[in-house]
Every structure is written in C-alpha cells, then in structure tokens.
Copies of this chain bind each other. A is one copy, B any other.
Amino acid sequence: MKILLAAMAVASLAAIPSATQSSFADLRETALATFEALPSATPTVSNNPITPDKIALGKALFFDPRISSSGVLSCNSCHNLATGGDDNRETSIGHGWQEGARNAPTVLNSVFNSAQFWDGRAEDLKAQAKGPIQAAAEMANTPAQVIATLKSMPQYVEWFNEAFSDEADSVTFEKLAKAIEAFEATLVTPAPFDAFLAGDDAAMTSEQKQGLALFMDKGCSSCHAGVNLGGRGYDPFGVVEKPSADVLPKNDKGRFLVTNKAEDSYVFRAAPLRNVALTAPYFHSGKIWDLKQAVAIMGRTQLGEELTEEEVGSIVAFLDSLTGKLPELAYPTLPPETATTPRPVSRNVGK
C-alpha cells in the first residue's frame, strides 16, 4: 500500500498537500477495501432474534448490580456506557476489591468482534455475558442465585415472559445472556470515519485523512481491519520484537490458555479500535495510558517500524475519527426486591 501514499503525493507529513476530490475518492476506495462502516440498523446475532422487549430487558440486566452476589457490581461497572464502555483502569475492581487479570475491553460495538475477550474464548456476546457474572474476582455469583434473584421480582418475570413469549420457563441464565446480548448489540457508535466512508469528505480533518492513509500504508490495517478495525483475528504481541515485560507480563500467555497450542503463546486478539481515544489505558495489560505511546509500541513490536513523532501524531489523529456517539439511553428503573430476593453477600468472598 506504499503506492497509496505516493499517489496522494504526501511527500511530507508536516502539511497535507492540496488534496483533490479524486484523491479523497482514492483514499475512500482503498479504505473501503479494508474497513467497513457501521451498519445503520441494529445488527443481527446468531440464534437470538433481537426485539425491543429483549433489548429493554437486557438494558435492565446490564445496569442491575443485583446480578452480582454483593449487589454492588453491574455489567456497567466495568463497561461503563458513560465513559466509553469501559472503566478506565488498568484492570477492573471486582468482588472483594479483587483486581482482574486483564484490561476491560469496551462493550461499544463489541457485537462486531468475531469473538469476545482478549483471548477470544467466548464465541459471542451471549457466551461472554455468562463469564464475569460467575468469575470469583468479578461478580462472584452463580447462575442459580442469579435466577433466584430475578424470579423473586415479579416485574422481571413479566419482562422475561414478554421478551421470550414463545418459550416455556422464560427466566433462565441462557435467556439472561441472550437479553444482555440483544441490548449490547444496540451499543453502536457512528463516528466521523463512518461518515467519511459513506462519502462525506468533510467528516474527517486533513490530518485524520492523512493518518488513515498512513495507518494503511504502514500496515496497521493488516490486523486492525474490518468494521471494528480489529477484533477479528489473533496475533502474537510482539510479531517483530517482544514488548517489555511490564507491558507484556510473563504470566499471561494469552490465547495459549484457550487453545493450549505453543504457537498461541502470548497471542491476543487484535484490539478493536473504535472509541480507542476514550478507552485508555491500553493493551491487555492496561499498562500504557498514552495513546501515542501505544501506537509507537505497536509500530515497533508488530511492524518493526520506528514511527516518527509526526507519524504517531498523524495516526492518533485518524484514531480520533473513530470516536463515535452512542444512542441516547434512558437510565432504567429496576424492579424492587421482595421478601424472597436473596440478600447481598455482606462482606468478602466466602463470607
């Protein structure tokens, strides 16, 4: 793709030359061969027809801290929709103030990832949703306790019945996961980049367009491609050069823990880059807070490129064009507990 940059006659990155409409069209055409704009309708997901009732139920569940054994943590605690769909911490705080092992990825646009988690161990969002609820260091709950909690509240039972009206025994852990997936499928954030792909030359600044060209030219887009600019494949962290141990802790072997194959040691999912400007800190370790630094590390470790400060700035400008806007969400009113609602765990794990 070196050709592209040459064709645009971007001799110096200091100032973009007077770009013509045809050069924008070339850039868009090349970009459309690599990336994809967000769809305008809620995407479909496998084995889970998305309906308004299911979305509404899933939203309530997403925001409900009573899904956790402590009554303190909701999906939104670590995937906060007010702050880019993540929690802006190296790793998340869970039950008993335990720290998680990896940085919480954003839930925004996650429906477009080909699998979930940094190691892709959940094939979709309904599989993913079941993980943190049961993880001892996260919500520390059990499916039975979650279902007892939900069934104790008549309003929840009614919502499940409405959302899964064709099915018997509607309040199940499986259906909870499906409802959460349905809600999460609506968390799509159209960005200036999408408007540019759709034909609006003015949606991105010159610097951003220049950054887009560079992003493709340098090869970033060989992993960070598709609708989410990542989230599709797996690569070793350190294709060319291993990152330092503080960025790539030795004890987390990534996808090896899923596949048990030697070649998957220190292999992670290429991070989806939509809203990346909102989701510091970076990498599975959450060790890098500065997006410029993250880009420089990626250049060095994955591409063997020592990017100049100017090049890094240009790519970061492009990444800013991936910051999108969530549809407005009304904060839900959740069903009240009843006498039979299991009580929150009063103190630490196991107590």
> Is A63's CB within 8 Å of the partner chain B?
yes
* Contact (Cβ within 8 A) B93 A80: no
| Contact between B81 and A344, CB atoms less than 8 A apart | no
Complex contact A330–B328 (CB within 8 A): yes
* Among B290, B333, B344, contact of A88 (Cβ-Cβ < 8 Å): B344
A71-B88 contact in complex given A82-B333, A333-B82, C-beta closer than 8 Å: yes
CA gap between A121 and B89 in the complex, in Å: 34
A24-32, A41-49, A335-343 - the one binding chain B: A335-343
Q: Are A88 and B70 in contact (CB under 8 A)?
A: no
Is A84 on the interface with B (CB-CB < 8 A)? yes
A70-B82 contact given A329-B331, A331-B329, CB 8 Å threshold? no
Which residues of A from 296 to 351 have beta carbons under 8 Å from B? 325-326, 328-334, 336-337, 339, 343-344, 346-348
A329 and B331 alpha carbons, distance in the complex (Å): 6
Q: Is the CB of A89 within 8 A of B71?
A: yes
Q: In the complex where A72-B93, A331-B331 touch, is A66 in contact with B88 (Cβ < 8 A)?
A: yes
Q: How many copies does the complex hold?
A: 2
Instruction: Say yes or no: B89 contacts A72, CB within 8 Å.
Output: yes
Q: Is the CB–CB distance between B97 and A82 below 8 Å?
A: no
Residues of B within 8 A of A81 (CB): 331
Q: Which residues of B contact A99 (CB under 8 A)?
A: 346-347
Q: Interface readout for A68-87 with B: 1 if CB under 8 Å, 0 if not?
A: 00111000010011111001
Residues of B within 8 A of A136 (CB): none
Tell me how many residues of A have a C-beta within 8 Å of chain B: 43
Q: Is A173 part of the contact surface with B, judged by Cβ < 8 Å?
A: no
**Residue-by-residue, is A35-77 near B (CB-CB < 8 Å gives 1, otherwise 0)?**
0000000000000000000000000000111100011100001
A63 proximity list for chain B (CB < 8 A): 82
Contact partner, A89, options B328, B330, B344, Cβ 8 Å: B344
- In the complex, chain B residues whose CB is within 8 Å of the CB of A290: 339
- Contact residues of A with B, CB < 8 Å? 63-66, 70-72, 77, 80-84, 87-90, 93, 96-97, 99, 277-278, 280, 289-290, 325-326, 328-334, 336-337, 339, 343-344, 346-348
Q: Would you list 19 pairs from A and B whose C-beta atoms are within 8 A, ordered by A residue?
A: A64-B82, A65-B87, A71-B87, A71-B88, A71-B89, A72-B77, A72-B89, A72-B93, A81-B331, A82-B332, A84-B336, A88-B337, A89-B344, A89-B346, A277-B336, A289-B339, A289-B343, A290-B339, A326-B333
